[in-house]
Structure 1
């Protein structure tokens, strides 16, 4: 039986002066070294690819972080802009609050002036406005309220005041119209020659009831309407001569007699103090004068109780 000797790699070292040395290398060692080299090379390649991938991942992540940082910086800049705008708005609102309070104070002062004027007008017109006292009693102390509440309360007060003033204006207007219609203006200048009531009969014996007053002056003296109203008669009546009759309102009516000339006609609207006739002595008369009568609710009354003193 043949025996095959195991192959080996032999390295001989021959120095100049020393003994020859031989190194025997097993045949598996080169294969091991080659395998180890290939394994190391593989590991290096694998590690490089992993490191490269990780580096790329870090770069991408860094880019994402940079992008996120840029977005956050933009958002921060926007927030700063919004914050500045908010500060401007707050400053403006604070200024508006001050301005609103000034307006409220101004309106309150106007209210006081309006109420003072109302009282003066009421006194002159001789009326009392019941609705005004309720409005004053409900006056809100605006300074104790917040701005929004003040504005709402102010609006409510203004609405109430507007309605009150509308009623007041109508009432005052009607009152002034009534006062203008009251025949209290002396209808002519001159001497009072005969009063209202019983008097000696100027055309005979005894006494007669005089339904008005007589005012004497020169021929053609202007005769004026004692109050505003509507002419219901303009013409001639027996004993009175030329006559003008004016209906002033539901209460009063006046008569102007013995005129030399009538200046108005039936249906004319006349104002207090407007010339309506000329003084004369037409009809049954003893001289140039105006016979003036006031009728209240269809009955004659003493004109001197109505005419201004």
Structure 2
């Protein structure tokens, strides 16, 4: 089969002849602008295809780069979230320790009888509230802000705890000095033959008010200071016989009468439980015993209300 393409100079058409092996010859007329349009279309298509191809490659490369960047950011976020979670656990641990310290402080205060003048509000740990402190959908910035806020609160708690410990230490020292000075120790072993209050007069008729305790035992029994303090008198004093008076501070005085022998001097500092005399029968006495008085701001008080484990 042969194709013959003919064109006249003045014709506006192309003639396309199709000559088959048979005798039937076919002729087609095509306008001259059709091939031009076809070529133009092909050029435009090729240009567009090439442009789209290179644009696709560039976009693909950018997309892959963004994916790598996103993966890197996600890895950093995961690492930071893990670090924040660890920090949250540490802050929770610190909070628990602060709570333990606070409870220990309260226990010490209760043990030695220190009362708070005012109640301070404690900062509540966010991790212990009903809402979960870290939510899975929370953004990293909010997590950071929450942690920073919690750390600030813990810092304030630590400062408050430090101040409370300093104050508690001072209060404990004062209380310990007070307890050491308070004449609450039974001064001698023996039998209590006469208590505080009205009794029958052992030297005559009628009743009299007895201002202390009479403790009976054999002569020479050790007499101990009921509390720490300064000896303000040590000598013979009327019906008390050989007597010792100790000033303990805080308004307390203790008196030890009818001793056989005095073992301390005026101005001497004695410790609670220290031996200060030997039991005797000096002064106005019916037999070997210790007359023990406690005075509070100059007034005799019932030793039963002061001495620990009074029997």
Q: Report TM bin, short chain.
A: 0.5 to 0.7
Instruction: Give the drift of 1:273.
Output: 2.1
User: Structure 1: how far apart are the matches of 2:120 and 2:203?
Assistant: 63
Q: Which has the higher helix share?
A: 1
Larger Rg: 1
1:122 aligns with 2:109: yes
1:201 aligns with 2:201: yes
Which secondary structure state, in structure 2, belongs to the residue aligned with residue 283 of structure 1? coil
Which secondary structure state, in structure 2, belongs to the residue aligned with residue 248 of structure 1? strand
User: Structure 1: how far apart are the matches of 2:93 and 2:117?
Assistant: 25
Deviations 1:180-237 (A, max 9, x none): 3222221111011112233333233433332211000112211122222222222221
User: Would you say the 8 A contact 1:135–1:161 is kept in 2?
Assistant: no
Which residue of 2 is the match for residue 296 of structure 1? 296
Which residue of 1 is the match for residue 258 of structure 2? 258
| Unmatched segments (≥5 aa) in structure 2 | 1-71, 134-144
User: Structure 1: how far apart are the matches of 2:238 and 2:252?
Assistant: 23
Provide closer, same or farther for how the CA distance between residues 266 and 105 of structure 1 changes in structure 2, counting only shifts above 3 A. Answer: farther
User: Structure 2: how far apart are the matches of 1:177 and 1:192?
Assistant: 29
Provide closer, same or farther for how the CA distance between residues 237 and 151 of structure 1 changes in structure 2, counting only shifts above 3 A. Answer: same
User: Would you say the 8 A contact 1:260–1:281 is kept in 2?
Assistant: yes
Paired residues, number: 225
Instruction: Give the drift of 1:87.
Output: 12
Which residue of 1 is the match for residue 239 of structure 2? 239
1:307 aligns with 2:307: yes
User: Structure 1: how far apart are the matches of 2:230 and 2:97?
Assistant: 39
Provide closer, same or farther for how the CA distance between residues 130 and 90 of structure 1 changes in structure 2, counting only shifts above 3 A. Answer: farther
Which secondary structure state, in structure 2, belongs to the residue aligned with residue 276 of structure 1? strand
Provide closer, same or farther for how the CA distance between residues 238 and 92 of structure 1 changes in structure 2, counting only shifts above 3 A. Answer: farther
User: Which TM-score applies when normalising by structure 1?
Assistant: 0.63
User: Structure 1: how far apart are the matches of 2:74 and 2:217?
Assistant: 84
User: Would you say the 8 A contact 1:199–1:207 is kept in 2?
Assistant: yes
User: Structure 2: how far apart are the matches of 1:128 and 1:291?
Assistant: 35
Which residue of 1 is the match for residue 17 of structure 2? none
User: Structure 2: how far apart are the matches of 1:88 and 1:122?
Assistant: 51
Instruction: Give the drift of 1:162.
Output: 0.8
Which residue of 2 is the match for residue 104 of structure 1? 91
Bigger drift between 275-284 and 174-183 goes to 174-183
Which residue of 1 is the match for residue 163 of structure 2? 163
Which residue of 1 is the match for residue 220 of structure 2? 220
Which secondary structure state, in structure 2, belongs to the residue aligned with residue 202 of structure 1? coil
Instruction: Give the drift of 1:94.
Output: 6.7
Q: How does 1:29-44 map to 2 (within 5 A)?
A: none
User: Would you say the 8 A contact 1:190–1:216 is kept in 2?
Assistant: yes
Which secondary structure state, in structure 2, belongs to the residue aligned with residue 292 of structure 1? strand
Which residue of 2 is the match for residue 269 of structure 1? 269
User: Would you say the 8 A contact 1:241–1:258 is kept in 2?
Assistant: yes
User: Which TM-score applies when normalising by structure 2?
Assistant: 0.63
| Unmatched segments (≥5 aa) in structure 1 | 1-83
